[in-house]
Chains A and B, each alone.
Chain A
């Protein structure tokens, strides 16, 4: 290294971040409020980032990557320790929307001025932002009409146009086509040349190797390793391989309670499919792991035709997903979404692996969900159609679980309400009931009323049942005498990806799926497990999603024995 001392741009010193989570009601006993729980997401992390560095952050799901980055961007104050930065860092997240109801043009001004630019400065770079984003005339339409890819491109253009001293990117580069990815890589290079610092979280080791010179490995909130990118990524890959070879090395085995978990949501999805749907399948649905509500909404329709739902990265076909496709000997692979949802690289990957690719085309998640159901082969007249806000994964999960009980379908809808295409698809499906899974602030009463004419039984609102409650209600239809296996996943928002895999498999296996909290069995699930007394339980997701102690507790519900109930008595 040169003699000059490197100039730091971000200093993170002994940072701890503890989240306070209000456990939702519904699972509380006798209407009592659940306690406040603390999640220790980041533990004593320290590092110094320098100007001109680009730093990749790797780690498993729930290892604290995103939380740490939000602290670096100044969006989450640390509980202990301190963060210093040069100027105002800019965070580029996956859900790249600023003010949905406003046009892209207005969002450019709002976003860039919030980053500290003056109006005159924005005037100067406005054209460049529009051109870079490649959005064209749509810049004058509200952002709510944008696809997730368009929105991500615009956000990227805004965040980087100001030449932020520190740019934080959380998985956002996965969206967009190859051309845009190349452009954005170029821009990140330019930013580093201008002595900026870039932080990048990605599931893809290849992306991190290509774009970063330094990497940090987080596990369970602790910084395990920090160094040159190849060293860290190699060590991470080696560890990931080891833990794949031996199932859960650190966790004691619990007889009768199996755990199916991979290192990432993609690994978990592939593993669950391998274990849960033995034998070949004609059709496989491939969905983006970055758009979980969409993946969920496809589950009931997929189950009708016996198709598993696999998650992959929106940018490319994950090797583990490809392996699972090969095992399933799929005749055709349905890609859920247009190129803005799943890049063409994914389709290329599937074709290279020797499968026939069909796209359920849609420029965003809502239109894709419509397109999927426009080809639904269900005979006329399904029992119910559930309308779910396009960004609400928990509502989608609730709907999917409730729809299991009957011949139901789940459609995504924008906050603006259903479009003419919704009506068209609803006429085709001819549901007996319509259920809106959103409160009146998200979808107004007018929308519900307008929909009433489209179903024989009218339209209604499904409020409040948490996914946990919905899962327990749906499981009530199972006869304990005939239930052997029960699937259990976490009902927490950050673990919805495990529940997606679970919902798909449980539907195909005709087995109940119940949800638990990260570190306890909620009352509704407890009651249902006591009734069902399964002979075998499968926990979906790693120990960060469902703790070893919950897995241990689940053993107590296995056939015949009196279950140990301790956690629930600890209500605050």
Chain B
């Protein structure tokens, strides 16, 4: 048995040597980025389980259940059509406004829900964070993934609705899943950043809905940016067209709508945003590991 505190004499170096001799892993501080990602990869099943559970819980309390993930975008499309198509006439320069608007509403709806729930990924899961040790990035990632699960009826809605508005089937449609995939990679990166920011200061959570709303009104959900962009200096127009949120919608429209011809540079730009934002998100989030759920 242990006698009274023989270990007190152990210096940090001796302790480190003892730990190494017995293959113990350090729990202090955060692991290196590569080790962190490897650990996250090892917990991929956990991430999948958590996101499936979260998406199931999202509509569990409603009697119509997951039907709402279909009804919500439908009702939203109708109301946007009434306001912007019939009242405000923002459909200038758009031939198939219903399909244009539907793609905007559905894709931006996903963006809004990933960002707003991703921002709360840590603060809403303090029970898990305080009880179990795992790479915390699993939480924002699983939140993004759970929104992907929840949104499939809405994507299906687009695929059914678009031909009904007279759009022809072309091979471009095969690019739609790619557009969605790029969007999710981007959003995961943004969710990682937002989760860290909100964990550091909950006050900042109040800005998230504001930012999402600002993006909703400037990213061309219910009007064509290229029509309006002519009024601005070219630089402003380019920024409006190529910022990630607008580009997400543009890629979706290029895949599904004939009046939006495929443009390689849009897809390369989308790929760039996806890789860049994900890398940024991972690094920003990883640097905060160890601060999540404290206090």
Residues of A at the B interface (CB closer than 8 Å) are 1, 7-11, 13-14, 19-22, 46-48, 50, 53, 71-78, 81-93, 95-102, 106, 109-111, 113-116, 118-119, 142, 155, 213-214, 223, 225-228, 231
Contacts and interface: CB of A to CB of B under 8 A. Distances in A.
5 contacts: A9-B24, A13-B15, A83-B28, A90-B132, A226-B7
Contact of B12 (A21, A81, A118, A231): A81
Interface stretch (B41-49, B63-71, B77-85): B41-49
A74 B45 contact: no
Interface in B25-62: 25-30, 42-43, 45-46, 49-50, 53-54, 56-57, 60
A47 B132 contact: no
Interface in B194-214: none
Contacts of A93: 130-131
Contact of B7 (A21, A47, A74, A111): A47
B234 interface: no
Which of A46, A118, A213 lies at the interface centre, i.e. has the most chain B CB atoms within 10 A of its CB? Answer: A46
A86 B15 contact: no
Contact of A77 (B29, B46, B128): B29
A85 B125 contact: no
B227 interface: no
B235 interface: no
Given A13-B15, A106-B53, A99 B133 contact: no
Contacts of A47: 5, 7-8
B45 A118 contact: yes
B27 to A, nearest CB: 4
Interface residues of B, number: 48
Contacts of B130: 75, 93, 95
Given A116-B43, A119-B49, A227-B4, 14 more contacts: A9-B24, A11-B15, A19-B295, A46-B7, A48-B10, A50-B2, A72-B27, A82-B16, A86-B22, A87-B25, A89-B27, A99-B127, A111-B132, A113-B43
B24 A91 contact: no
A110 B10 contact: no
Contacts of B43: 113-114, 116
B294 interface: yes
B176 to A, nearest CB: 30
Contacts of B177: none
A107 B18 CA distance: 37
Nearest to B9: A46
- Scoring B11, B15, B23, B54 by chain A CB atoms within 10 A of each residue's CB, the highest score goes to B15
A99 B28 contact: no
A228 B2 contact: yes
Given A1-B1, A74-B133, A86-B24, A114 B7 contact: no
A555 B129 CA distance: 43
A9 B8 CA distance: 17
Given A83-B28, A84-B24, A119-B45, A226 B53 contact: no
B46 A110 contact: yes
Q: Give the one of A87, A113, A225 with max B CB within 10 A.
A: A113
B197 to A, nearest CB: 16
Contacts of A226: 2, 4-5, 7
Contact of A113 (B7, B46, B57): B46
Interface in B122-170: 125, 127-134, 138
A227 B3 CA distance: 5
Contacts of A1: 1
B120 to A, nearest CB: 9
Contacts of B25: 84-87
A85 B24 contact: yes
A159 to B, nearest CB: 8
A190 B8 CA distance: 30
Contact of B294 (A76, A92, A106): A76
B290 interface: yes
A97 B127 contact: yes
A155 B130 CA distance: 13
Contacts of A227: 2-5
B19 interface: yes
A114 B15 contact: no
A318 B78 CA distance: 65
The 6 closest A-B pairs by CB, nearest first: A13-B15, A74-B27, A113-B46, A84-B19, A84-B24, A227-B4
B53 A110 contact: yes
A85 B50 CA distance: 26
Contacts of A231: 4
Nearest to A75: B133
Given A47-B5, A82-B12, A8 B22 contact: yes
Q: Which of A19, A47, A81, A96 lies at the interface centre, i.e. has the most chain B CB atoms within 10 A of its CB?
A: A47
B127 A95 contact: yes
Contacts of B134: 88, 114-116
A72 to B, nearest CB: 8
A124 B27 CA distance: 29
A9 B27 CA distance: 12
A356 B26 CA distance: 54
B132 A91 contact: yes
B26 A84 contact: yes
Contacts of B28: 77-78, 81-83
Contacts of B53: 99, 102, 106, 109-110
Contacts of A89: 27, 133
A110 B11 CA distance: 39
B271 to A, nearest CB: 32
B200 to A, nearest CB: 11
